[in-house]
Structure 1
Amino acid sequence: MSRPELSIAREFEAALAWWHAAGVDCDYAGDATAWLADVPLAKPTADANKAGSSRGGSAQAPGPASESVAARSLPAAPPSPPATLRRDLLGESPPQDLAAFRDWWMTAQGIDTARAFPRIAPRGEAEAALMVLVPQPEEADRDRLLSGPQGRLLANILGAIGLDESAVYIAAALPCHTPMADLAMLAAGGMDAVTAHHISLVRPARVIAFGTGLAPMLGANEAEQPLREINHAGGKAPVMVSETLDSLMEMPRLKARFWRRWTQWSPPL
Structure 2
Amino acid sequence: MPAALTAPAIARAIDAALAWWRDAGVADDFDDTPRDWLAAASAKTPAKPAPAVAKPEPERAAIGGGPGVWPADLAAFSSWWLTDPALGELGAARIAPAGPASPALMVVVPMPEAQDDETLLSGPAGRLLDAFLAAAGLRRDAVYCAAACPARIAAPDWAALAEQGLGQLLAHHVALVQPQRLLIFGQSGISTLLGNGSTNKPMLLPFVNHTGGMVPTLTAYDLEAIVARPALKAALWNRWLDWMPA
TM-score when normalising by structure 1 = 0.64
Residue 193 of structure 1: aligned partner? 168
1:98 corresponds, among 74, 83, 101, to 74
Residue 5 of structure 2: aligned partner? none
Aligned-partner SS, 1:124: coil
| Structure 1 residue 243 displacement after superposition | 0.2
> What is the identity, as a one-letter code, of the residue corresponding to 1:152?
R
**Structure having the larger proportion of residues in helix:** 2
Number of residue equivalences: 193
Unaligned runs of 5+ in 1: 1-55, 57-78
| Structure 1 residue 191 displacement after superposition | 0.9
| Structure 1 residue 113 displacement after superposition | 4.0
After TM superposition, list the pairs within 5 Å mapping 1:232-247 onto structure 2.
232-247=210-225
Aligned-partner SS, 2:77: helix
After TM superposition, list the pairs within 5 Å mapping 1:71-220 onto structure 2.
85=60, 87=62, 89-91=64-66, 92-113=68-89, 115=91, 117-212=92-187, 213-220=189-196
After TM superposition, list the pairs within 5 Å mapping 1:41-80 onto structure 2.
none
Aligned-partner SS, 1:200: helix
| CA distance in 1: counterparts of 2:150 and 2:63, whole angstroms | 17
- Per-residue Cα deviation, 1:181-220 (whole angstroms, up to 9, x for no partner): 2222212212111101100000110111101121022232
| Structure 1 residue 83 displacement after superposition | 8.9
> What is the identity, as a one-letter code, of the residue corresponding to 2:168?
A
Q: Does the 8 Å contact 2:63/2:86 carry over to 1?
A: no
Of all paired residues, the percent bearing the same amino acid is 41
Q: CA RMSD in A?
A: 2.7
> What is the identity, as a one-letter code, of the residue corresponding to 1:160?
A
> What is the identity, as a one-letter code, of the residue corresponding to 1:157?
F
- Per-residue Cα deviation, 1:218-263 (whole angstroms, up to 9, x for no partner): 2323347523011223322111110000110111221122112112
Q: Does 1:221 align with 2:194?
A: no
Q: Does the 8 Å contact 1:84/1:185 carry over to 2?
A: no
| CA distance in 1: counterparts of 2:127 and 2:193, whole angstroms | 25
Q: Does 1:231 align with 2:209?
A: yes
| CA distance in 1: counterparts of 2:59 and 2:163, whole angstroms | 7
Residue 242 of structure 2: aligned partner? 264
- Per-residue Cα deviation, 1:94-137 (whole angstroms, up to 9, x for no partner): 2111110011111222323464x511010011111000000000
| CA distance in 2: counterparts of 1:182 and 1:83, whole angstroms | 18
**Greater Rg over alpha carbons, structure:** 2
| Structure 1 residue 90 displacement after superposition | 4.3
Unaligned runs of 5+ in 2: 1-23, 25-53
- Per-residue Cα deviation, 1:24-45 (whole angstroms, up to 9, x for no partner): xxxxxxxxxxxxxxxxxxxxxx
| CA distance in 2: counterparts of 1:84 and 1:217, whole angstroms | 18
